[in-house]
Structure formats: structure tokens, C-alpha cells
């Protein structure tokens, strides 16, 4: 290559601007694991340069647009240990090389780079552009010729010390970037970036949807046509386009078949089974984006464990920026898998990180609204499908109400389903309200271990006879969620094993007082009841903590939180007469009272305080 020196004597190195050097030092010396992103960065620059040329030719009547002239090309030289990426884009002249590659931070981005961790994070998420070449190379050459100009230039640098620019020769416009890969050292392998399969894989992973072809000559193997003999193989070279170019989310819905969406779901490894449903979004506005969002068909085995990572794939102009961008999804929708592509997000490190955050938050809000209203649509149109979804992921919706202290109530309450005792299946709260009798003004529920158990609860009798439906809650979170919601459309939630306000009877007969005293502080009150059907006793709770909550909290090891219990005794049951008869025989009355209390607790699923004492008391009567 004949090169004319531009800078004084020999090839004088120019120093980088101070802030570039600082970042470069940090980059090169950081134990940065994801060094493979350099390729994505260089390809993204190549693609930008092709875009720029394309826009330029739009205004140029002389130039006709030939699609075949716009491409990138990867070339490997194993002997020299170099990897070259060529593009036929706009190219750079001396001034451009000076300005664009000599300075890294163009706007006020230095401040946030001071913080190492944060800078690492930015490198990881948005890339640091051209300089990432130094993650894998100890020398980088940029040979470039600008479109419409005659002189080519060679920019060269071996790291933070500086760079040089000399005149050079190059056929045609565009840029060729050559990386002299670092030597392999222990676990640090750089030779891998000379392997076909590795490069193919990287292009597919990070740059699959770049709109220009990325070509590479690859070595393939094929079977020889030999009759009767052992099959032989030969290798041959072939130029391949490594990227698929048009991402499915950029296509129109009308062009796509259901199978295309399912295929994409599998290709991206969102899940093993088919998705239950999906939404294809194209938003144009303040921040434009396209997205395909999937509701998985099955619940991931690690869902709602610490191991599960929520998030969407984030692309900008066809370049993968992040594989699991958490900020795009509110917690209530952790189960959603899919992809977001927004041209409005910049790959440029010199953008303020805060602005990116605001953009992501904006998209996230938008996604939330779309998904929630889509779920409502499924609920109304395809109830079976919705129930499949709800059984898998309904918990996340409830959790979002609970964890937001009710702030998400309005958004989510119409998507909730609970088991209706009367319907024998799941109903929404709106359905419950519709079926409510005129004399009923509360939404009744009962929490318990299982539907079977709940169906046999003695408290049910009264509500059944009134014709009032009861929601059976079997998920530990359910009752906490209803408590936080307080009401639905102005109708309060009321547990049927919770004392209703104004239910306390003022004047207590002596017998009830006695029984209360004999129960040694286990109950706050004892009273007669006419609501128990043919059951002798039942426990209800007074105040904020219900029996079901006590049961769950005890199971979770929170032993201090106990419900205030009221023992109800059926006035119409023979047991009532027996108690009256024992009024003045304290020992027997104590035994009876304790047995009745323990039985009421057992029915509620609460553990016995002293199982041995309980058994002994019963044996006493069996003699
Ligand atoms: P960014 O792409 O975010 O601007 P980079 O560090 O990746 O930052 O690139 C810096 C600049 O160098 C680009 O903005 C562009 O002007 C120039 N550049 C880099 N690679 C090329 C290329 N292949 N062709 C033309 N210009 C390029
Ligand atoms: Mg770039």
C-alpha cells in the first residue's frame, strides 16, 4: 500500500481527546466478559454508514439506487489473525476520521462515565460503539474512502496512546475495519473470532435484523457422489448472507400467518410449548416502537422464583441491545415474553442515560395498557383460553395489587377470577355483582386450604339458605388482596368467618360468660348463633386478622399474629341443651367447652394448641 504521511515526520501518533482515553483505558482493562459485542457495534456502524449513503443518494438525481451495491462483508485471515468488516457505505475522509474516531464523548456524557459500575452497565446495554474493537484487538485499522471523493485514508491505532492517519488507496467508497486480534491467553480466547461458526452465530444473535446483507465466505462440507463406496466428503467455499434482514415484527400483520408467530416464539427460545396468544404492536407517536408480545402457553418451571428473569428483548434499528430488558415490563406482566424495537432509542453512548430510562418507562407504560386490555378482550371472547392464562399467571395480577398497596386495583380488578361456590367455577367480580340478590350488599368470601374443605364449612349454611354466593379463596394471597382492595364497585368484601360489624350481642347470659372464662383467653367472646344449620359450633374472627390469615401466617412462621376469635354455638343444636345442663358442673363444662373450641378450630384448618390434651379430654367421655 502506498501511503503518504500526513503528520510531519514518520507516522506521528496523535493523542486521543482526554475523555476518550479515559474510557478506553477503562474498557480495555475492565474484566468485561461480554467482549463479543464488538461485532454488533461495528456492524451497526456499517449499517448506519449505508443508511447515510442511501439518504444522500435520494437527493442526488445522478445516482440510481442499486440494492446490490449496499452490503457488508466479513473476511477472516487466519494467518495474519485478522478479522475485517467492509461496508459500502458513505465512508469517511480525513476530517471525519479525525472527528468521529478521535473523540468518543461528543456530548455531556462524561459525568456518568466517572462511575465505573454505571459505565460497565452502559457498555453492556448500549455498547460503546467503535471503541469496542479494542476489546478483542490490540491494533485496529480503518481504511476508508468517502463517497464522491478520490482520496482514501488509513486510520490506525494500537490503543489509548493515540492514532495516526495516512493517505492510502482503496477501491470504491466505504470503509474496511481490520482488527488484529489479541493473542489467546488462558481463558481469554480471541482466536474464536476467526471461526466461521462463531461469526455466523454472533451475526444471527445480535445483528440478524440489520437491513443490509452481511456476507461471508464460509466453508461447507458436502458428501461426494461415489457409488458403492464409503461416503466421502469434500469441503467447498461459498459466500453466504448471514443475517435474515427483515424482522418479523417489521412486517405487517396481514402478511403473517399464525405459524410465523409460533415459529418466531420457538426460534427466540421464549418457551418450549406454543404460546397461548400474542399481540403485534405498532405504535407511532412520541416514541415509536414495534413489538410482538407473547403470553406463554405454560408456566415456566422457575416462574416466581428468584431464578426467573423477566424482561423483553430490546432492539434498536434491528440491533439487539439487551436480551432481557426488565424496565420494559411492569411486575404484573413478568410472564410476557417477546421483543420491542424502537428506532427512537439510540445506540449512542453519548446520550444521557436518564433519557433512555424515560423512554423505556414510556414504552413500558404503553405495553402495560395494551396487554391489560388485550387480556380483557380474551376474557370476554374466549373464556377457556383466559382461564388457562389465569391459572398460569393470575397470581402475578393479584401480586401487583398487593405489592402496590392497592394502587393497581383499578387496572387489574376486572381481570381477576375467583371460584364461585354457587357456579362451581371461576367468576369475575363483575359476574358476582350481576348475580347478587337485592337483599345482599356485600361480596362474601371464605378462605381455606382447598375447595373440598371450603365446601363443607359450617358457616356456609346460612348464606346458602339466603341464596348468597360465596367466593372460595384457596390461594394464600387471595384474602390479603381482597383486604387491600377493600371493595369492588362500592361493594365491600366480607369474609363469612369474620364477624360483621354490629353483630356483637350486648347483653351476655351467664352461661356464655362462664364458657368464655373456661377457655382461658383463647376467645374474645362466646355467643349463640342461629346461622349454623346442623353444626354445633363455629369460629369467627373479629377485627383485621381473619382465621385464614392466621392459618397462612402461622404456616409461614409468623407465630405472633393471631386472629381474635369468637366462638359461636348453635342455639338450635342438642349441644346447647347439654351445655345448659352442665352450667353448674365446672369441670365437665370446661371439658365440653374446650372440646367444642378445638373442634371449631380444626374445622377452620387451624392447628390444635395441645393435641394430647384434646385427645385425653375426649377419651374421658368415652369411658
Ligand atoms: P455512534 O455509532 O454511536 O455514533 P461509534 O463509536 O460507534 O458511535 O462511531 C463513531 C462515529 O464514527 C460514527 O458516528 C460514524 O460517524 C463514524 N463511523 C464509525 N464506523 C463507521 C463506518 N463503518 N463508516 C462510516 N462512519 C463510521
Ligand atoms: Mg455505533
Query: Rounded to whole angstroms, how far apart are CA atoms 82 and 62?
Result: 37
- 109 touches ligand 1 (CB under 6 Å): no
Q: Express each pLDDT in 252-303 by its tens digit.
A: 999 899 988 998 898 788 988 999 999 999 999 888 999 999 999 999 999 9
Torsion of CA 493, 499, 501, 507, to 10 degrees: 170
* Average pLDDT score over residue span 534-558: 86
Contact (CB, 8 A) for 314 and 327:
no
- Residue of 116 and 86 predicted with greater confidence: 86
Is residue 495 classed as helix, strand or coil in its secondary structure? strand
Q: Which of 41, 52, 100 to mutate to test the pocket of ligand 1 (most atoms within 8 A of CB)?
A: 100
Residue whose C-alpha cell reads 480525513 in the numeric block: 94
Confidence of residue 329 (pLDDT cuts 50, 70, 90): very high
Nearest atom in ligand 1 to the alpha carbon of residue 44 is 2
Cell numbers for 430? 363483575
Q: By alpha-carbon position, which residue is closest to atom 1 of ligand 1?
A: 348
Comparing CA positions, the residue from 156, 163, 157 lying closest to residue 15 is: 163
- Residue 347 CA to ligand 2 center (angstroms) comes to 6
Q: Express each pLDDT in 577-596 by its tens digit.
A: 999 999 899 999 999 999 99
Nearest atom in ligand 1 to the alpha carbon of residue 52 is 25
Confidence of residue 353 (pLDDT cuts 50, 70, 90): low
Q: By alpha-carbon position, which residue is closest to atom 8 of ligand 1?
A: 129
Query: Rounded to whole angstroms, how far apart are CA atoms 325 and 315?
Result: 10
- 49 touches ligand 1 (CB under 6 Å): yes
- Residue 60 CA to ligand 2 center (angstroms) comes to 26
Q: Express each pLDDT in 432-482 by its tens digit.
A: 999 998 899 999 999 988 999 999 888 888 899 899 999 999 998 899 999
Q: By alpha-carbon position, which residue is closest to atom 12 of ligand 1?
A: 100
Give the C-alpha distances (Å, rounded to integers) separating 452 from 233, 419, 473.
Answer: 67, 12, 12
- 100 touches ligand 1 (CB under 6 Å): yes
- 93 touches ligand 1 (CB under 6 Å): no
Confidence of residue 549 (pLDDT cuts 50, 70, 90): confident
Q: Express each pLDDT in 18-38 by its tens digit.
A: 666 766 676 666 545 578 889
Ligand nearest to the CA of 145: 1
- Residue 349 CA to ligand 1 center (angstroms) comes to 12
- Residue 46 CA to ligand 2 center (angstroms) comes to 8
Q: Cβ of 7: how many Cβ atoms within 10 Å?
A: 12
Comparing CA positions, the residue from 11, 175, 8, 41 lying closest to residue 96 is: 175
Query: Rounded to whole angstroms, how far apart are CA atoms 374 and 553?
Result: 35
- Residue 100 CA to ligand 1 center (angstroms) comes to 6
Q: Express each pLDDT in 366-385 by its tens digit.
A: 999 999 999 999 999 999 99
Query: Rounded to whole angstroms, how far apart are CA atoms 181 and 148?
Result: 32
**DSSP assignment string, 40-97:** HHHHHHHHHHHHHHHHHHHT-TTPPP-GGG--EEEEEETTTTEEEEEE-S----HHHH
Q: Express each pLDDT in 130-181 by its tens digit.
A: 888 988 999 999 999 999 999 999 999 998 778 999 999 999 999 999 999 9
Q: By alpha-carbon position, which residue is closest to atom 5 of ligand 1?
A: 129
Q: By alpha-carbon position, which residue is closest to atom 9 of ligand 1?
A: 130
What is residue 298's predicted lDDT score, i.e. its pLDDT?
A: 94
- 174 touches ligand 1 (CB under 6 Å): no
- 45 touches ligand 1 (CB under 6 Å): yes
Contact (CB, 8 A) for 231 and 224:
yes
- 397 touches ligand 1 (CB under 6 Å): no
- 129 touches ligand 1 (CB under 6 Å): yes
Ligand nearest to the CA of 44: 2
* Average pLDDT score over residue span 194-202: 95
- 240 touches ligand 1 (CB under 6 Å): no
Pairing, β 442-447 against β 525-529: unpaired
Nearest atom in ligand 1 to the alpha carbon of residue 87 is 23
Amino acid at each position: 500500500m502506498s501511503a503518504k504521511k500526513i503528520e510531519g515526520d514518520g507516522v506521528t501518533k496523535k493523542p486521543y481527546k482526554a475523555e476518550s482515553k479515559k474510557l478506553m483505558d477503562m474498557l480495555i482493562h475492565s474484566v468485561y466478559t461480554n467482549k463479543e459485542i464488538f461485532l454488533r457495534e461495528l456492524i451497526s456502524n456499517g449499517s448506519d454508514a449505508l443508511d447515510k449513503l442511501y439518504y444522500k443518494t435520494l437527493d442526488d438525481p445522478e445516482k440510481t439506487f442499486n440494492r446490490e451495491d449496499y452490503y457488508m462483508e466479513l473476511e477472516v485471515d487466519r494467518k495474519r489473525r485478522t478479522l475485517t468488516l467492509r461496508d459500502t457505505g458513505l465512508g469517511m475522509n480525513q476530517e471525519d476520521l479525525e472527528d468521529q474516531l478521535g473523540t468518543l464523548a461528543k456530548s455531556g456524557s462524561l459525568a456518568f462515565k466517572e462511575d465505573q459500575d454505571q459505565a460497565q452497565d452502559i457498555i453492556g446495554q448500549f455498547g460503546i460503539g467503535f471503541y469496542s474493537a479494542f476489546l478483542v484487538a490490540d491494533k485496529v485499522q480503518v481504511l476508508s474512502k468517502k463517497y464522491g471523493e478520490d482520496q482514501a485514508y488509513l486510520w490506525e491505532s494500537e490503543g489509548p496512546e493515540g492514532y495516526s492517519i495516512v493517505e492510502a488507496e482503496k477501491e470504491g467508497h466505504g470503509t474496511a475495519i481490520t482488527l488484529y486480534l489479541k493473542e489467546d491467553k488462558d481463558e481469554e480466547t480471541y482466536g474464536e473470532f476467526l471461526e466461521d461458526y462463531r461469526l455466523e452465530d454472533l451475526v444471527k444473535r445480535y445483528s440478524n435484523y440489520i437491513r443490509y446483507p452481511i456476507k461471508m465466505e464460509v466453508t461447507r462440507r458436502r458428501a461426494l457422489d461415489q457409488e458403492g463406496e464409503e461416503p466421502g466428503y469434500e469441503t467447498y467455499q461459498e459466500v453466504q448472507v448471514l443475517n435474515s434482514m427483515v424482522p418479523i415484527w417489521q412486517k405487517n400483520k396481514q402478511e403473517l400467518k399464525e405459524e410465523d408467530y409460533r415459529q418466531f416464539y420457538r426460534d427466540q427460545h421464549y418457551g418450549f410449548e406454543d404460546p397461548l396468544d400474542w399481540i403485534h404492536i405498532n405504535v407511532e407517536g412520541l416514541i415509536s416502537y414495534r413489538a410482538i408480545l407473547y403470553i406463554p402457553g405454560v408456566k415456566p418451571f422457575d416462574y416466581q422464583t428468584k431464578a426467573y428473569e423477566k424482561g423483553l428483548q430490546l432492539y434498536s434499528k434491528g440491533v439487539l441491545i439487551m436480551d432481557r430488558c426488565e424496565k420494559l415490563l411492569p411486575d404484573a406482566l413478568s410472564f410476557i415474553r417477546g421483543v420491542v424495537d424502537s428506532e427512537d432509542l439510540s445506540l449512542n453512548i453519548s446520550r444521557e442515560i436518564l433519557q433512555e430510562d424515560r423512554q423505556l418507562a414510556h414504552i413500558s407504560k404503553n405495553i402495560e395498557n395494551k396487554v391489560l386490555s388485550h387480556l380483557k378482550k380474551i376474557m370476554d371472547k374466549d373464556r377457556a383460553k383466559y382461564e388457562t392464562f389465569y391459572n398460569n399467571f393470575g397470581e402475578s395480577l393479584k401480586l401487583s395489587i398487593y405489592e402496590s398497596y392497592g394502587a393497581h386495583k383499578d387496572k387489574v380488578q376486572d381481570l381477576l377470577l375467583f371460584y364461585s361456590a354457587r357456579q362451581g367455577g371461576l367468576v369475575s367480580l363483575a359476574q358476582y355483582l350481576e348475580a347478587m340478590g337485592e337483599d345482599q350488599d356485600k361480596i362474601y368470601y371464605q378462605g381455606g386450604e382447598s375447595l373440598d374443605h371450603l365446601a363443607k364449612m359450617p358457616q356456609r349454611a346460612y348464606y346458602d339458605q339466603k341464596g348468597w354466593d360465596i367466593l372460595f379463596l384457596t390461594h394464600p394471597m387471595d384474602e390479603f388482596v381482597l383486604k387491600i382492595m377493600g371493595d369492588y364497585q362500592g361493594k365491600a368484601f366480607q369474609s363469612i368467618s369474620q364477624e360483621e360489624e354490629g353483630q356483637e350481642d350486648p347483653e351476655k347470659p351467664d352461661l356464655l360468660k362462664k364458657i368464655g372464662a373456661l377457655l382461658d383467653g383463647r376467645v374474645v367472646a362466646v355467643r349463640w348463633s342461629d346461622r349454623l344449620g346442623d353444626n354445633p359450633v363455629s369460629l369467627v374472627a373479629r377485627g383485621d386478622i381473619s382465621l385464614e390469615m392466621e392459618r397462612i401466617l402461622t404456616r409461614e412462621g409468623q407465630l405472633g399474629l393471631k386472629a381474635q376469635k369468637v366462638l359461636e354455638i348453635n342455639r338450635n343444636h342438642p349441644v346447647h341443651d347439654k351445655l345448659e345442663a352442665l352450667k353448674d358442673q365446672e369441670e365437665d363444662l370446661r371439658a365440653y367447652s374446650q372440646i367444642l373450641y378445638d373442634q371449631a378450630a380444626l374445622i377452620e384448618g387451624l392447628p390444635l394448641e395441645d393435641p394430647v390434651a384434646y385427645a385425653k379430654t375426649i377419651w374421658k367421655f368415652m369411658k
